[in-house]
Amino acid sequence: MSIISQFYDALANDLSLTNIVSEDVTLYASEPVNELHGIDAIKQQYWKILSTSLYNIERRPFIEFDSIHNNHKWIAATGYLIGDFVNDLLGIPATKKPVYLRFTELVQLQNEKIVNYYIIIDFLDVMHQAGVNPLRKSLGHDGLIMPPTTMDGLNPIESYVEQSQQSEQLVLSMLEELGRFDGQSLASMQLENFWHPAFMWYGPAGIGMTRGISDFRKNHQGPFVFSFPDRVVDHKAAIIKKGNYVSTGGWPHMHGSHLAGGWLGLPPSGIKLELRVIDIWRRENNLLKENWVGIDIIHMCKQMGLDVFAMMKDAYHLR
């Protein structure tokens, strides 16, 4: 059982966490949970919220791997928190049916204990499942996110010593290529040199999934880069790699000024935003084949002055 599984097992069974997390553990969760310090805060302001709303909640990752970054062990993972949606969740009305909370996470260990836990939970997708999403329908495909085509995402194997370094270099080169956008044409970023023709981009609710470069450009990249023309990635982000898998992320991971309309159908706010993002890529031969992306869109909207939870209540006449 991985240390993250131990963490949730201890929370679910009200067991001691002292052998699992550091005394000064910090949880960085998506809006509106945000930053929590210490075990008691995590129990009361994170776990209690989830476990009260989702009966028999369980964590089901389909990707989870670890590596060393800056002399610390890190774990990257994505999957679903699943439970029976019996009570409202942060004002989202309970469906009385199973619900899937998509998560993407980075976990930092110190002395074999969790010291920093970053998790993006797609609460907007929960609204979508409950039929109360106040934002426009995703341009991409909405629905359950698939595990890796190769079904090898849980503790992937490194077949040779240089494998993870090659995967990391491909991702870093691709990210450098994204920085070559000339502000005019999406073709100025030569993604075909890095991405498989049938590349799957598993985006969050509000954006959706895309397949192939043209679909990605049409339904996500185009609206995003033109809306945030000065976007900058924080190079202090963690990089975790294992075999053909690479994860990057930070808190925040990107900054950009919202200077044009189009993204999510929202008008420009003119505000410089910080973006909480966690990416996981899978390499296939010399190209990237799949990308699972966690973005805290509700937090971005809040910085624009939009309270998505209040919008939901108003739009659907909820208490």
**What is the mean predicted confidence (pLDDT) over 228-257?**
88
Q: Residue 137: how many CB atoms within 10 A of its CB?
A: 12
**Do the domains spanning 3-130 and 163-315 agree at the CATH topology level?**
yes
| pLDDT given for residue 33 in this prediction | 98
Q: What's the mean pLDDT in 84-97?
A: 98
Q: Does the pLDDT at position 301 exceed 70?
A: yes
The pair of structure tokens assigned to 31 is 């809006």
**Rounded CA Rg of the chain:** 19
Q: List, for residues 36-72, the tens digit of each pLDDT value.
A: 999 999 999 999 999 999 999 999 999 999 999 999 9
3-state class (DSSP) for residue 295:
strand
pLDDT tens digits along 118-132? 999 999 999 999 999
- Delimit the domains of the chain by residue range: 3-130, 163-315
CATH of domain 163-315: 3.10.450.50
Residue 235: the pLDDT is 61
State how far the Cα of 276 lies from the Cα of 265, in Å rounded to an integer: 20
pLDDT at 236 (0 to 100)? 63
Chain mean pLDDT for the chain: 94
* Residue 57 tokens, joined: 């909640």
Residue with tokens 């691709």: 174
Whether the Cβ atoms of residue 81 and residue 61 lie closer than 8 Å to each other: no
Say which residues have a Cβ less than 8 Å from residue 312's Cβ, sequence separation at least 6. Answer: 91, 92, 127, 132, 133, 134, 318
Measured CA distances, 246 to 1, 91, 149, 252, 314 (Å): 22, 35, 16, 18, 40
pLDDT in tens, 165-218: 999 999 999 999 988 888 888 888 899 999 999 999 999 999 999 999 999 999
CATH code of the domain made up of 3-130: 3.10.450.50
**pLDDT of amino acid 143:** 86
| Chain centroid offset of residue 96 CA | 26
